[in-house]
Amino acid sequence: MEHIYPANPANIPADFTKPSSAHRRQAALAALGLVLFVVIYFALTGWFAWSAYQLILIDLAGARRNIFLWVLALSSGFLALFMVKALLFVKKGSIAQDYEVTAQSEPQLLAFLNRLADETGAPRPHRVFLSPRVNACVFYDLSLLNFIFPSKKNLEIGLPLVNALTLSELKAVLAHEFGHFVQRSMALGNWVYIAQQIAAHIIARRDALDNFLRFLSGIDLRIAWIGWLLRLIVWSLRATMETVFNLVLLAQRALSREMEFQADLVAVTVTGSDALIHALHKLQAADEAWDSAQSFLNDQVNQGKANKDVFAIQTRVLQHTSKILNDPLYGKAAPVPTNKPEQHRVFTADIAQPPRMWATHPYNHEREQNAKKVYVPGVLDNRSSWIIFDNPQALKETFTSKLLERFKVELQPDAEIFTELDKRYEREYLNSRYRGAYLGRSFVRHASKPDQLYDVRIDSAIDALRALYPEDLASKLDSLRKLEKERSLLIALRDGIYTPPDGVIRFRGKEVSKRELPALIETLNDECAAAHQQVFRHDQECRSAHRIAARQLGKGWDKYLSGLLALIHYAEHQQANLADSRALLNNTYAVVTADRNVSKREIKRLIAAGDEVFTALTAIFRMAPEVQLPEPLRQKLEINSWGEALGEFSFVPPTRENISNWLSAVDSWINSALGWLGALRQLSLEHLLQTETQIALWLNKGEATEEAPAAAQVPSEYPTLTPGEERELQKRLGLWDKFQTADGAVAGSLRLVVAAAIIGGALLLTAAPQLGLLF
């Protein structure tokens, strides 16, 4: 064990991991909020149940039956049933695990974990599971007994995470989880879990009781008023419980962030201040690589083959991505400088960030600041994390076989599978010689017509071709991306979607006020336009130089290039238009259903948004016969024609009668069209660049050695969507919806006052007969 266990840092202060005052304060607030929720819930439930019982007794004790007392009693009983039914749907909480390891199967791992638990002062894990996730976490098997007696804690270790981290980094992550093992405030999470289920059932679930109230409200007026009043009271109960539980959730998530800080400090005590931060830095790359590895493995499984070790695929994806991005540190941590290591920072704060009030974890730059507030130097052990297992390769293969056990596959040597994987990363547009010009950006979206990309004068095709893709193009693209990100963040600040770190807007080293944002955004618009014009001119030079070269070569290659460019333009603009119409539909749906009640006017608005999607789909399918693909593209797409690939368009426009079924079906049509357009765009781009490369070679030789295939054709007119022409989305709710959803402090407070007043009236009405105030 000694040879694989990284050394701990020395001279750790005795109170280094002591919970902060903020931690203790948030724990107290979370506990108080939870008690408040429980008291209100059981008080209301108990009162309505007791009142129903008492009102029946009062009537039975009288000489004559009082119909109003029975209405009150039955209504009170209905409300009690409405409240108490939430308890009947509380579910046992657990995490499904299927690969448990023990001291017998993995003695080295368990010895490592037990030693780490002992050194952090945590209880040893009850059970240990390995998972196919880029994650490590503590979890419980929750039952009703666990809400009275402490639950034993289990540990999950994600093997894709192990595959991406060094030994010191994994030790830091596991120590962080053991930090949670120690925290007594973790027990609050159990109670919040139950409270969340109760609140969700009351607030969001619509069932037979709601159907009964709707039925009651729609019959004879002499009875319907009872349904109206009960629906109003039910709305008030839902509004009140939602507000109270949101306060509980806010307090619990604030506590969760403090718990993360404290658990990070536990990790620092056994690994130093850098290892955990390096692990956090690697998470996104590891997660993306694992997703890509699973996607690739799924494609291979569909072909009836796979390799023995899926983790080798994840590693190879990381290597390919690093090469494509020209970033040797992608998925790796930069070395810690020997001079002033305490000032070294991996993460920096953006100008703006999403509101943190609902976040369960602090931002990474905050976690780094916390871990290095008192800098603890540590020796980083950069060996692979796999050495903590007794037989790493056997474990990788066993785990991979468990992932594949439901499928019939023939195992292939790694070399053959890697050859297939490498082909995915040999796309022409991924070639580093293009300086990233075709990575994550469109060069045709800013042009409303393909011909605009030829709108530049070229004197010498050979000279122009040699000057393309200069070294400074990468820096120009990077500058453009940074400017666009700055602009997006400032717009998010202006619109109130994001908030500035620490409440202060800092832009390029200066503090600015919110009223200065419009002027700053206009300035950034100008800067973005200037930066984009430089890049766009290079795009024009690329297309123009190659077409002039093709024209000089003859044999139809200039028309062939023009056809490929038109295909890319067509595919990207159709894709953008359809995706934008979907964004409008999703935005409209979110707005009209925000209050969980859709009016006739809102249905009409939803149908109008659906018409936008239907129009975009219609244009794609109806124009499909006019899209003629060249033979090389048809072969790559494995289709006979574009129209055949899309299939028959049998979808119908949305109407008031079919809107529910239409919404259920529309995504399948959108996804199918977007998938084909995306494939057409990707393969057309690759073929365009390959053809341009071939033309440049032929020009140097002086002639083209073959005739061009028949050129592609697209419709003469089709919908386009250049940046800035996107459909306008509603960013804020209307006043009524804000009130209904308690959106904002003012609306939330007003709704709570109204709901509390209605509940107060209901309580008074049920109490009056018992106090002798009525009858």
DSSP 657-678: TTHHHHHHHHHHHHHHHHHHHH
Domain ranges, residue 757? 735-767
CA distance 263 to 367: 10
Based on the domain organization, do 47 and 148 belong to the same domain? yes
714 is a domain residue: no
Q: Is the pLDDT of residue 347 over 80?
A: yes
> Model confidence over 37-95: pLDDT tens digits?
889 999 999 999 999 998 888 878 776 777 888 888 899 999 999 898 877 766 555 54
What confidence category does residue 122 fall into, taking pLDDT thresholds of 50, 70 and 90? Answer: very high
Choosing from 357, 391, 426, the residue where a domain stops is 426
Based on the domain organization, do 94 and 180 belong to the same domain? yes
Least confident of 472-476, 687-691, 740-744: 740-744
Residues 713/627, Cβ–Cβ less than 8 Å: yes
Per-residue confidence (pLDDT) for residue 141, from 0 to 100: 65
> Model confidence over 236-279: pLDDT tens digits?
999 999 999 888 888 888 999 999 999 999 999 999 999 999 99
Least confident of 61-65, 121-125, 273-277, 438-442: 61-65
728 is a domain residue: no
715 is a domain residue: no
> Model confidence over 278-330: pLDDT tens digits?
999 999 999 999 999 999 999 999 999 999 999 999 999 999 999 988 889 99
What confidence category does residue 352 fall into, taking pLDDT thresholds of 50, 70 and 90? Answer: confident
Based on the domain organization, do 500 and 537 belong to the same domain? yes
Beta bridge partners of 713: 628
Based on the domain organization, do 753 and 627 belong to the same domain? no
What's the pTM value of the predicted model, to 2 decimals? 0.86
CA distance 408 to 406: 7
Per-residue confidence (pLDDT) for residue 182, from 0 to 100: 86
114 is a domain residue: yes
The structural domain count of the chain equals: 3
Q: Hey, what are 105's tokens?
A: 């199967």
Choosing from 681, 701, 721, the residue where a domain stops is 701
Based on the domain organization, do 292 and 337 belong to the same domain? yes
What confidence category does residue 768 fall into, taking pLDDT thresholds of 50, 70 and 90? Answer: confident
Per-residue confidence (pLDDT) for residue 725, from 0 to 100: 95
Based on the domain organization, do 120 and 6 belong to the same domain? yes
Percent of the chain with pLDDT over 90: 68
CA distance 297 to 305: 9
Based on the domain organization, do 669 and 752 belong to the same domain? no
Q: Give me the helix-helix angle, 414-424 and 310-324, nearest 10°.
A: 30
Closest C-alpha among 143, 16, 151 to residue 91: 143
Q: Hey, what are 132's tokens?
A: 């196919």
Closest C-alpha among 112, 110, 146, 143 to residue 126: 110
CA distance 393 to 384: 12
**Phi and psi based region of residue 615 (left: phi greater than 0; alpha: psi -120 to 50; beta: remaining):** alpha
Residues 501/349, Cβ–Cβ less than 8 Å: yes
- Cα 67 to chain centroid distance, Å, stands at 55
| Three-class secondary structure of residue 136 per DSSP | strand
711 is a domain residue: no
Based on the domain organization, do 673 and 753 belong to the same domain? no
Based on the domain organization, do 417 and 447 belong to the same domain? no
**Phi and psi based region of residue 638 (left: phi greater than 0; alpha: psi -120 to 50; beta: remaining):** left
